Amino acid sequence: MDTNSDIDVLISEVGPRDGLQSIQTVMPTEAKKAWIRAEAEAGLREIEVGSFVPPKLLPQLADTAEIVEFARSLPGLTVAALVPNFKGAENAVRAGAHKITLPLSVSETHSQANLRKTHAQVLDEVRRIVDLLRDLPPERRPAFEGGLSTAFGCTLEGPVPEGKVVALARQLIELGCDEVGLSDTTGYANPAQVRRLIRLVWAEVGKERLTGIHLHNTRGLGLANALAALEEGITTLDSSLGGIGGCPFAPGASGNIVTEDLVFMLDAMGLRTGIDLEKLLAVREIVRNALPDEPLYGFTPDAGLPKGYRRGGWGIAA
């Protein structure tokens, strides 16, 4: 679905997946639908609506197939989903997801904790998924991203060699993934590291194979890292409404970038996201009402928009 030619930066909302998988509360299905509908109406073009994992592992996402089917009815929305393995990919295809992402943790310790698989086993799953997708008619074939998790460091292993990130990126593309994504699963990244790793992966697989990055704000560097990625030429940024989410299998990995703060920064810079900021801020009430015991974060929602704010023009002298 190419609906993004009129924007500068694509914001991929991951709250309904990454956010909800990381909290104990199970959001009602109808509330999820209201959240996704409201974000689409606010101008979000891509939403990761769930994950095709066994319900016994993540009951918060047990209704993902129903959510995908609903989200597909919203015009102009790319419906994304996480898949941990071949079975998950089969279910995502059956439900009609436009895009699927399989996470490959660069830290093998995290891979064992997250997917219970070694690198070799995950790559075997990738091969099987590629074969599955190649046999589908084009109209049913989702885009397939290999997500490089813990690419900037791991709470279980510590530093992650950049050469390992690059090598796995090359393997994913060689196996048939359409693209790779870099993920700061544990919030370890800094702007210099973000710039360097993007350049290294681009040199190996090409710029068209890495366009997106998933960043966390665990240590307060989320927006700084996002800006560094943008200045390098990345065009897709993941974020979560209210900053909810993290990774349940990486201790201390809290804090997705807050969608509202990210959109405000881009909007104030004059970059086009296609998102109506005031409508986006109103979506918080849907999530707050459905998750009354969960904290929501964000400086922009708390402070409000500056007096006299105009997109791309506030603070600029006449």
CA distances (Å), 283 to each of 16, 31, 77, in order?
Answer: 13, 11, 17
The tens digit of pLDDT for each residue in 70-102 reads: 999 999 999 999 999 999 999 999 999 999 999
* CATH number among 3.40.50.1580, 3.40.50.970, 1.10.357.20, 3.20.20.70, domain 10-303: 3.20.20.70
Confidence of residue 248 (pLDDT cuts 50, 70, 90): very low
At 313 the pLDDT is 58
Instruction: Examine the pLDDT at 270 and tell me if it is beyond 70.
Output: yes
Q: Are 89 and 102 spatial neighbours (Cβ–Cβ below 8 Å)?
A: yes
The tens digit of pLDDT for each residue in 94-119 reads: 999 999 999 999 987 777 766 678 88
**Amino acid in the structure at residue 189:** A
At 252 the pLDDT is 44
Within a 10 A sphere around the Cβ of 242, how many other Cβ atoms?
A: 22
pLDDT, the chain, mean: 92
Longest Cα separation, the chain? 60
Catalytic residue set: 247
For residues 269-307, b (16+ Cβ closer than 10 Å) or e, as one string?
Answer: eeeebbbbbeebbebbebbeebbeebebbbebbeeebee
Q: Are 315 and 269 spatial neighbours (Cβ–Cβ below 8 Å)?
A: no
At 239 the pLDDT is 97
Confidence of residue 238 (pLDDT cuts 50, 70, 90): very high
291 vs 186, higher pLDDT: 291
The neighbouring-strand residues paired with 181 are 147, 212
Please indicate, yes or no, whether the overall pTM of this predicted structure exceeds 0.85.
yes
Residue extents of the structural domains in the chain: 10-303
Instruction: Examine the pLDDT at 253 and tell me if it is beyond 50.
Output: no
At 315 the pLDDT is 55
The tens digit of pLDDT for each residue in 296-308 reads: 999 999 999 998 8
Instruction: Examine the pLDDT at 49 and tell me if it is beyond 50.
Output: yes
Residue appearing with tokens 């086009």: 272
**12 vs 48: CA distance, rounded Å:** 7
Confidence of residue 311 (pLDDT cuts 50, 70, 90): confident
**2 token code pair:** 């190419």
Write phi, then psi, for 211 (nearest 5 degrees): -120, -10
Confidence of residue 206 (pLDDT cuts 50, 70, 90): very high
